[in-house]
Structure 1
Amino acid sequence: MNNNQVTDQWCQNRAEEQIHQQQLQNVERFNGRMAMLGIVIGIITEGLTGQGIAHQIGLGPLVDGYASCHTQYLPFCF
């Protein structure tokens, strides 16, 4: 390979890397916005229904069991 081919290859690799980084930034921004939206929807639903986010996603019995375990001062918990 001559010097021009090496330079062209480097430029192409660099351009691909920059495109990949930009796509990654866009995906991460989208994920962050969707997470924020999910939390806001969960809080609004909690305000309307009285059920916490853990209950909304089906982890209510686990949270209730943990809370009862610590409130009854049992020597062991599940």
Structure 2
Amino acid sequence: MERNQASDKWFQDSAARSIHQEQLSRVELFNGRAAMLGIVIGILTEALTGQGIVHQIGLGPLVDGYAACSARFLPFCF
């Protein structure tokens, strides 16, 4: 009887791992497609507006301040 329960648990665990792996595969595929779409939209917006992706997401002042920083203080320009 105990051996049968151990066997059942092994099958349940194996099925759960298989389902989890399938779900993980689908989620990773969706995330990759969403990232590719986001990059394409960012590049198209950059072509239309002239603003880079960094400016589009609101980090433009940070990049602009870093570029305007003096070269001798470069490590401390954050």
Same fold (TM over 0.5): yes
Residue in 2 aligned with 1:34? 34
Residues paired across the two proteins, number:
76
Deviates most, 4-13 or 52-61 = 4-13
Q: CA RMSD in A?
A: 1.4
Please state how far the C-alpha of 1:8 moved relative to its aligned partner.
1.1
Residue in 2 aligned with 1:73? 71
Identity of aligned residues (%): 68
Q: Deviations over 1:10-36 (max 9, x none)?
A: 001100111011101111111111011
Extract unaligned runs of 5+ from structure 2: none
Extract unaligned runs of 5+ from structure 1: none
Q: Which runs of 4+ in 1 moved over 4 A?
A: none
Please state how far the C-alpha of 1:74 moved relative to its aligned partner.
4.7
Structure 2 CA distance, aligned partners of 1:44 and 1:59?
A: 18
- TM-score w.r.t. length of structure 1: 0.87
Give the match's secondary structure for 1:41.
helix
- TM-score w.r.t. length of structure 2: 0.87
